[in-house]
Amino acid sequence: MHLFQQAAPELGNQYHEDRVLRAYLQRHLPPDLLRAWEPALTAMGALAGGELYRLQQADRLNEPRLTQWDAWGARIDHIELTPLWRVAERLAAEYGLVATAYDQSLGPWARPLQFALAYLFHPSTDIYTCPLAMTDGAARTLLQSGNQALIERAVPHLLSRDPAQFWTSGQWMTELTGGSDVGRAESVARQDADGTWRLYGRKWFTSAATSQMALTLARPEGNPPGVRGLALFYVETRDAQGRLRNIEVLRLKDKLGTRKLPTAELLLNGTPAQPVAGLRDGVRQIVPMLHLTRTWNSVMSAATMRRGLALARDYARKRVAFDAPLARQPLHVDTLAGLQAEFEAAFHLSFWLAELIGRDEHGQLAEQERYLLRLLTSIIKLTTARQAVAAASETLESFGGAGYIEDTGLPVLLRDSQVLPIWEGTTNVLALDLVHALLQRNELPLLGAAIRERVAAARDRGLQAAGRQALAAYEHAAAWFAAAQEAGRPAVEAGARRFALTLGRALALALLIDQAQWSLDRQQDGRARAAALRFAQLGVDQIAAEDTALSQALADDAPLPTPTADPA
C-alpha cells in the first residue's frame, strides 16, 4: 500500500539565495571589500541553511536548566545552556559578530558587514543574537564612557574572536517597578569603608544570565529619586573560582518564546560593582546601548521574516493542492508576494539604520543627521517589529495545519517574533519616545527631506506614483502632528502609534523606490520594483481622526451616552 509522504521544506545557502541582501551589499560596499568578505558571508549562509539549521531542529526540545544546589547543599546557581547555544557562542566569536563592528580598517562599512553576518546567523540560533546585541551595546557604552580601567579590562573580551576569551554582557535594567519606567528602580548602591561599591536589589528580568559581565542601574544611597539619581554600574558576575559574586538566581523565566535564552530573576545582595561614569545620569549613559540593541532588534526582525519566507516558498513549490503546487495557486502567490514586499521594506529600513550608525561612529554624520538617527532608532525598531509578528503569523498560516505543529519547527517563528515589539521598548513606549523628542525639538523636516531625496531618484512611472504616495503619507503625518500639538499633549500621545507607523512605512516605501530604480538601472531586474509597488498597495498612511472621549470609553468599557444625531 502506497501512502502519501509530504516533503518537508528545506533551506539552501542563505547568502546565495538572498537576492535582497546580495543586491544591498553590491550597491553599498566597495567592490574590493565585498570580494574580501564574500567567503565569510558564503560560509555563514551555508551554516545557516545547513549544519546550524539541522542542529536547531535537533535541539528543539532542549532548554536551559538551572541547578541551584549541588549534591552537598552548597548554593551554586549553575545554568546549563543547550547544545545549539554552545555552538552559537563559539561561532559568534570566530566570525566576529561583535568584533567586526569595531574593525577600524573597515571604516563606515563595518556596521553593514557586521549586521549582514548577524542577519544570516540569527534565524538558526534561537535568539543567540540577544546576548550579542547587549555585548555590542556594552562595548560601545564602555568605549564612550572614557573609563580607561574598565575599557582595558572588559572591551578586549567583548571584542575577542577567541571563544576561550570571548565575553558576553548582560543588561540588567528591569525591576518589578517597571521596564521602561526605569526611574522607579529600587536597586541601591552602597559604598564600603574601603571604597568598594556593592549593589542590593532584585532584577526582575535579566536576559543572558550566563554572561560574564553586565551593565546595570542602581541608585547610590543619598541620591534623589527619579532618573537623574540612577548611576550606571559595571558588574563581573563570577569570581576567579567561578562562583557568583553575591548574586542569587531566583528562577529562570517561563516565557512564551525565546526559550533557549536564559532569562532570570536575580537577587543582588552586596554584589561588587564599579561606577562606569560618575554617580548620576546612568540612564543617559546607556543611550548608546539602547541605540544599538534597537538596531539589532530591527535587523533581526527582517532576518526572521526572511527565514519564514524561505521555508514558505520552498514548501509552496512542493505542496500540491487542488492539482497544482501552491506556488501556482493565485491566492497563495498573492499571499507570498505580500510577505516578500513587507520583508524587503523591513530589510531596507533596518540596514539603512545600520549604515547610519556606521557613518556616525566614524564621524561622518552632521549634527542634524545625528538627531535624525536618534529619531530613526525608535521609528524603525517599532515598524519592523510589528511587521515581523504579522509576517510570522501569515507564514505559519501559509503551511496550513503543519504550521501549528511543534515538531515542524515552524511555531517557534511566531513565538520568538512576539518578543521583537516588546524588548528594548514596546511599540507604544517608542512612539511616545518619538513624539516627546519632537516636542522638544521638531526635526521632522529632516525625515521629510530623506524621503524626498529617495523618491526623487525614480524615473520609472510606477515608482514615481508610489513616491507620491510616500510623500503624501509623510505630509499627512506632519500636518497631523502640527494640529495635535495645538490640541494639547494628550492628543499627541493618543495618536503617537499611528503617527510613528506612518512615518516608518513612508520611509520604507521611499527606500524601496530608491533600491528599485537602482536595480532597474544596474541589474535590469524588476523584482525590487515589484516589491515597492506591492508595498504601496499594502497601505502606508495609518493616520486616523482621534476622539479621546470615545477611546477612553472603549478602553474602560464604560457607559457612553447615545448620540442625539447621526454624526455623519
Same domain for 412 and 435?
no
Question: pLDDT-based confidence at 199, cuts 50/70/90?
Answer: very high
Instruction: Answer yes or no: do 412 and 437 share one domain.
Output: no
Do both 505 and 390 map to the same domain?
A: no
**Residues 247 and 269 grouped into a single domain:** yes
Regarding whether 264 and 200 lie in a shared domain, the answer is yes
Total-model pTM: 0.96
Which string of DSSP letters, residue by residue, matches 7-28? Answer: PPP----TTTT-HHHHHHHHHH
Q: Is residue 151 part of a domain?
A: no
- Answer yes or no: are the C-beta atoms of 77 and 66 closer than 8 Å: yes
Please report, for residues 246, 458, 533, 537, the alpha-carbon distance to residue 468 in angstroms, rounded to integers and kept in the order given.
Answer: 60, 10, 12, 13
Question: Containing H/E element for 330?
Answer: helix 330-361
567 has a pLDDT exceeding 60: no
Q: What is the DSSP letter of 96?
A: T
* Whether residue 290 is found in the same domain as residue 277: no
Any domain includes 123: yes
Nearest to 492 by CA among 436, 443, 551: 436
Domain housing 397? 19-140+286-417
By the 8 A CB rule, do 93 and 161 touch? yes
Tell me: pLDDT of 366 over 80. yes
In a 3-state reduction of DSSP, which class is residue 510? helix
Note the pLDDT of residue 185.
Answer: 86
Nearest to 356 by CA among 491, 511, 159, 203: 511
Q: End of a domain among 417, 445, 478?
A: 417
Q: Are residues 39 and 117 in the same domain?
A: yes
| Co-location of 276 and 290 in the same domain | no
As a three-state string, the secondary structure of 360-418 is HHCCCCCHHHHHHHHHHHHHHHHHHHHHHHHHHHHHHHHCHHHHHCHHHCCHHHHHHHC
- Kindly report the average pLDDT of the chain as a whole number: 95
CA 212 – CA 167 distance, rounded (Å): 6
Same structural domain, 176 and 72? no
Choose one of 374, 390, 417: the last residue of a domain: 417
Provide the grid cell at 395.
507564514
Q: What CATH number is given to the structural domain containing 46?
A: 1.20.140.10
Does some domain include residue 562? no
The kind and range of the H/E element at 339 are helix 330-361
Q: Between the CA of residue 540 and those of 235, 315, 467, what are the distances in Å?
A: 44, 30, 11
Q: Say if residue 451 is exposed, middle or buried (CB neighbours under 10 Å; 0-12, 13-18, 19+).
A: buried
**Number of other CB atoms surrounding residue 559 within 10 Å:** 6
Would residue 406 count as lying in a domain? yes
pLDDT per position as a tens digit, 520-545: 999 999 999 999 999 999 999 999 88
Residues 35 and 107 in one domain: yes
> How far apart (Å, rounded) are the C-alpha atoms in residues 114 and 351?
11
Q: What is the CATH number of the domain that holds 244?
A: 2.40.110.20
Whether residues 321 and 252 fall in one domain: no
Number of structural domains found in the chain: 3
Residue 233 belongs to some domain of the structure = yes
Task: Tell me the residue type at 489.
Answer: R
Boundary-marking domain end, from 259, 281, 303 = 281
Q: What tens digit of pLDDT does each residue of 410-441 get?
A: 999 999 999 999 999 999 999 999 999 999 99
Asked whether residue 339 falls in the same domain as residue 394, the answer is: yes
Give per-residue pLDDT as tens, 464-520.
Answer: 999 999 999 999 999 999 999 999 999 999 999 999 999 999 999 999 999 999 999
Establish if 518 belongs to a structural domain.
Answer: yes
Q: Report if residue 539 sits inside a domain.
A: yes
In a domain, 226, yes or no: yes
